Structure 1
Amino acid sequence: MTTMITNSPTRYGWASIILHWLIALIFIGQFVLGFIMVRIESQRAAFELIQLHKSFGFLLLGLVILRIAWRLGNATPALPSSVGALERRTAPVAHFALYAFQLALPFSGWALVSVSMLEIPSMPFSLFVIPNLPLAMSDAAESFWTEAHWYLAYAGIALVVLHALAALRHHYWLRDSVLVRMITPSSAQDVE
């Protein structure tokens, strides 16, 4: 059986699966890293963790944009027939919300470093400088974007938890293929 990179009518392909789980891992890791970095007492360690957080934030932003482009260019597998009408209507809204938060969160972080009076350049993984967004620097703007980033982070992680609980509900309670198709890739046999 040959596994496929692209999606089939019933399952996701390797590209979608890898992007999904990589983004999930980074998104959750960023939440944990952000939680730790603002509570650590050592200024040096906090600075290093913030730089790492910024690096993974830019990586996350790039991967989410790639994931959205991939999704727009590939057919989304149909939901199993066991999925009810209400869930069929709400699933696209939930996925749109996840993508929106995965974009808004790194953009709010980028805005935060762009308006910061500290003027510390963003150098993802010490490779190159990312230019600031064209926003005016001020303490008030920094406070606004700090708060926005915080609220978006907690709302985003709440959405991720709901998404994971829904997937587990499908797997263990409804016993359908919704979760499995994001773990096991499509194959040549899935294509009609």
Structure 2
Amino acid sequence: MQRYTKTAMLLHWLIALLIIAAFGLGLIMTDIPGLTPTKLKYYSWHKWLGVTVLALAALRLLWRKANVPPPHPASMAAWQKMAADGMHVVLYILMFAVPLSGYFYTLSAGIPVVYLGLFQLPVLMAANPELKPVLKEVHYILTMGMAAAVLAHALAALKHHFIDRDGVLRRMLP
């Protein structure tokens, strides 16, 4: 059984954990009423997680282009191979689209993103109160799409492990 490289595994699981953390934090912070110090702190952490996911996704994409992933098992049906490949494309698109939509939503509100409280990211657009609700909705829709895609991906991996027993999940386990 061919496996993913250790670097691919590290990036996969690290990005997965960060996406889950950002999603959970996003749910918590948006439920806090008013504008409190805790809410502001959570928003900062959420943005930092998003920027980190974006950077690691770029690194992961470069790694994947330079390191061919293991082939699908021969026992896998052609439609499952196409679905798996399609889901990977969707996940990569969302790993970029979700953080970028959040970034532009923040900029539309006139708030710069200061990574880890140390480095201000470039301000690529001026505050835009008309665009702000649109970008907020785009970020929300993309985030829910990401949650659905991650859940489907995880369920498919578990199906391969417990039902098909074809080693698909073990290829990505350290």
- The sequence identity of aligned pairs, in percent, is 37
- Please tell me whether residue 39 in structure 1 is matched to residue 25 in structure 2: no
Gaps of 5+ in 2: none
What displacement does 1:142 show? 0.7
Deviations for 1:36-93, whole angstroms, at most 9, x for unmatched residues?
1111136211111001111111111000010011001101101111111111122111
What displacement does 1:120 show? 2.7
- Please tell me whether residue 120 in structure 1 is matched to residue 111 in structure 2: yes
- Please tell me whether residue 58 in structure 1 is matched to residue 51 in structure 2: yes
* 1:6 paired residue number: none
Structure 2 residue aligned with 1:109, among 99, 102, 108? 102
Structure 2 residue aligned with 1:77, among 57, 67, 70? 70
**Is the contact made by 1:16 and 1:70 (CA closer than 8 Å) also made in structure 2?**
yes
Number of equivalent positions: 173
Q: Which amino acid aligns with 1:124?
A: Y
- Please tell me whether residue 161 in structure 1 is matched to residue 151 in structure 2: yes
Partner secondary structure for residue 140 of structure 2 = helix
Q: CA RMSD in A?
A: 1.2
What displacement does 1:136 show? 4.1
Identify the structure with bigger relative contact order (alpha carbons < 8 Å, sequence gap 6+): 1
Structure 2 residue aligned with 1:131, among 122, 130, 138? 122
Q: Distance in 2 between matches of 1:60 and 1:37?
A: 18
Gaps of 5+ in 1: 1-8, 185-192
User: Which 10-residue stretch deviates more, 19-28 or 37-46?
Assistant: 37-46
User: Which 10-residue stretch deviates more, 42-51 or 105-114?
Assistant: 42-51
Structure 2 residue aligned with 1:149, among 131, 135, 139? 139
Partner secondary structure for residue 126 of structure 1 = coil
What displacement does 1:161 show? 0.1
Q: Which amino acid aligns with 1:121?
A: P
What displacement does 1:123 show? 1.2
Partner secondary structure for residue 97 of structure 1 = helix
Deviations for 1:77-134, whole angstroms, at most 9, x for unmatched residues?
0111111111112211110001001110000011111111xx332111112111122x
Q: Which amino acid aligns with 1:126?
A: G
Larger Rg: 1
Structure 2 residue aligned with 1:14, among 2, 6, 9? 6
What displacement does 1:137 show? 2.2
Partner secondary structure for residue 71 of structure 2 = coil
Q: Distance in 2 between matches of 1:125 and 1:158?
A: 28
- Please tell me whether residue 183 in structure 1 is matched to residue 173 in structure 2: yes
